[in-house]
Amino acid sequence: MSRFPRALLAAATVGITALSLTACGEDSGSGGTGTDCESDGLKIGTILPQTGSLAFLGPPEFAGVDLAIQEINESGGVLGCDATVIHQDSGDTTSEIASQSADALVRQGVHTVIGAASSSVSLSFIDKLYQEGIVQISPANTSPEFTTYANGDYYFRTAPSDVLQGRVLADTIIADGHKDIIILALQDSYGTGLADAVEANFTEFGGTVIDKIVYDPSATEFSAEVGKVADSGADAVVLITFNEIVNLAPALAEENMSAQDLGWYLVDGNLSNYGDQFPAGFMEGAKGTYPGADTAGIQERLLEVDPELVDFTYGPESYDATVLAALAAIQGGKVDSETIKDNLVDVSREGTKCNGFTECAELLADGEDIDYDGYSGPIEFSPEGDVTAATIGIFQYQADNTFVNLEYRFGDLEG
């Protein structure tokens, strides 16, 4: 059985082919002004998960991009032409799908790529986009590695580095009274980076990390790892996983280390509404964090794009990434990737604050310098393409295996 049947169905439906929401040059009444728009319009590509261990994140991310494209075109497009989007699959680190998708988007002449969700997957094609001079904006990469990445000139992200999530998660665990923890993390740049951030902060806050176990993300059997947790004497476990949690969590529970027996703390890679995928009450009491502000302001709009959405994680960040690319092109007066790169930082900070594409595009048309604030937060890009401040949500699971928000914490990543 697939992990998220509705989510995977939505991803397959929305993401398998190129999508042109009112192609430019047609008499659409939404910005198409002539035949030149077919070649001169802003072309967005996505490399987001339709398959693989992060497929559950695909539907809200695709919906966020499509919502942005819809609003852009309904508001007159970019420099008189409608924007188009071409969706491609990212798969995961067990396949070459993402690299093949990058090749396909390069051939089709996209100006900006939105993706990937996984940090390790983005690292598999970031150099290729750098060599082609194509802007990449990830809505979900959180590995600290990108901040100092050598070929990162064209790379931006609307999700914050895990430096912040590690701090908030560690503080939450300490506040809950836990003193001795063990960390289980998948072996990739996301898993090890976040594990290091949690460890550094938890230790700084006075706690002890008994062990940090890094496992093969392709594993399906976790008896060795579960045995180490059982022998550790830890009073809480941090689970930094992707889809592997559907096998790892039951293995812990079978050894009397359920969410009720031992403190469970999840992260953005596995925080999802599991519902009847687990027995009633299975996840009750577990907590977790993921980057992003309250999505209430955009949920209804995302559901209009994809009524089957069950999660909204990184949907706002995907919308913001797409809108920022369009606004950067408008400010620079061209839709090419170099212009977008050169203007992304400027449209994100130190101007007249505005929200959403329509309001910000109107200010640009009036000659205003803008400071875009998105659904996911203020998004003030650093010169390295990082957001400099962000919100981390803290959540707790209920008896029906779905999570509810406890609080949101805003933090600064600079200084």
Q: Tens place of pLDDT for every residue, the chain, 415 residues?
A: 333 332 333 333 333 334 443 334 443 333 334 447 766 799 999 999 999 988 988 999 999 999 999 999 999 999 999 999 999 999 998 899 999 999 999 999 999 999 999 999 999 999 999 999 999 999 999 999 999 999 999 999 999 999 999 999 999 999 999 999 999 999 999 999 999 999 999 999 999 999 999 999 888 899 999 999 999 999 999 999 998 999 999 999 999 999 999 999 999 999 999 999 999 999 999 999 998 888 888 999 999 999 999 889 899 999 999 999 999 999 999 999 999 999 999 999 999 999 999 999 999 999 999 999 999 989 999 999 999 999 999 999 999 999 999 999 998 876 4
Report the Cα 202 to chain-centroid distance in Å.
Answer: 24
Residue pLDDT, tens place only, 1-51: 333 332 333 333 333 334 443 334 443 333 334 447 766 799 999 999 999
The pTM assigned to this predicted structure is 0.85
DSSP single-letter state for residue 20: -
Residues 6+ apart with CB under 8 A from 110: 43, 44, 45, 86, 134
Amino acid at site 366: D
Q: How far is CA 375 from CA 103, 299, 383, in A?
A: 31, 10, 21
Residue pLDDT, tens place only, 212-249: 999 998 888 999 999 999 999 999 999 999 989 999 99
| Residue linked to tokens 């000139």 | 153
Per DSSP, helices labelled H in 158-222 are 162-175, 189-204
Between CA 200 and CA 163 the distance in angstroms is 10
pLDDT at 261: 94
The dihedrals phi and psi of 271, each to the nearest 5 degrees, come to: -80, 105
Secondary structure (DSSP) of 264-308? EEE-TTT----GGGS-TTTTTT-EEEEE---THHHHHHHHHH-TT
- The size of the chain, in residues, is 415
